[in-house]
Amino acid sequence: MRIEDVRKHLTTPLTSPAYTSTIPRFTDREYLNVVYRTDPGALRAVVPEPLGIGEPLVRFEVMKMGDVSGFGPYTEAGQAIQVHFEGEQGEYLHAMYLDNFPATASGREVSAYPKVIGAPSLYVDHGALVGTLDHGTLRVATATMGYKHQPLDEDTARAQITVPTFMLKAVPGYRRGMRVQELVRTEITDVVVKEAYTGPARLQLFAHVLAPLADLPVLEIVSASHILTDLTLAPVEPVFDYLKGDMQ
């Protein structure tokens, strides 16, 4: 394979890449969001500077992807922490767990999503919307919400989906140092809200050394939402370089 041909490839293996170069379009992306209050000290231990913390709020999310170009259907779960950066309110993506390897690899390599393999699920059980996350054979999270109890205002639902999002991009070098270590920002703008609901919710987190969601304990449920959307993810932009200690 010639050098100019190698340069055309996005990832490896060259003859059977881990994911496609297509920009994925999400159709019928279904969210269960449970926002809860946690221990401020626990947040300070995991949120990287220069992000700041206001109210100690975390959003546990389960997303069931009905159809995704390039990846097919899959499910994802994780935690997003409310933060602020230079006066802008947003969320810091703390951890994400998927049951689809190409989407996991693409999210980490192309963008900066903190994705690892897990076993999330989202389904309806006797009048309750249920979101779970397993790591291996062990349950690490269970969320329940009253199924379509009350309509949620479309603008409110859209604001939840399009909140500015911050992530940490980390690419190690070959001699134990870092080649890239950046705080990046993204914001979904191409989104259609198809359905949106709110209702009562509960959330249980279980301790696991490799999926430490319970390190951000649930002290109080603040809100919950169930949203169905079509959307396209936006590219990320660096906003702080940890290796240089300054803005991009």
* Residues that are catalytic: 115
**What values do phi and psi take at 224, rounded to 5?**
-150, 150
Q: By three-state DSSP, how is residue 123 classified?
A: strand
What span, in angstroms and rounded, lies between the C-alpha atoms of 209 and 204?
16
Contact criterion met (CB below 8 Å) for 37 and 220: yes
Q: Is the dihedral of CA 241, 164, 54, 29 positive or negative?
A: negative
Range 132-149 burial, b when 16+ CB lie within 10 A, else e: bbbbeeeebbebbbbebb
Question: 133: closest CA among 76, 184, 91, 171?
Answer: 76
User: What is the rounded distance in angstroms from the CA atom of residue 26 to the CA atom of residue 233?
Assistant: 8
Q: Give the separation between CA 69 and CA 67, rounded to whole angstroms.
A: 7
- The Cα–Cα gap between 33 and 223 comes to 8
Query: Can you read off the two tokens belonging to residue 12?
Result: 């490896």
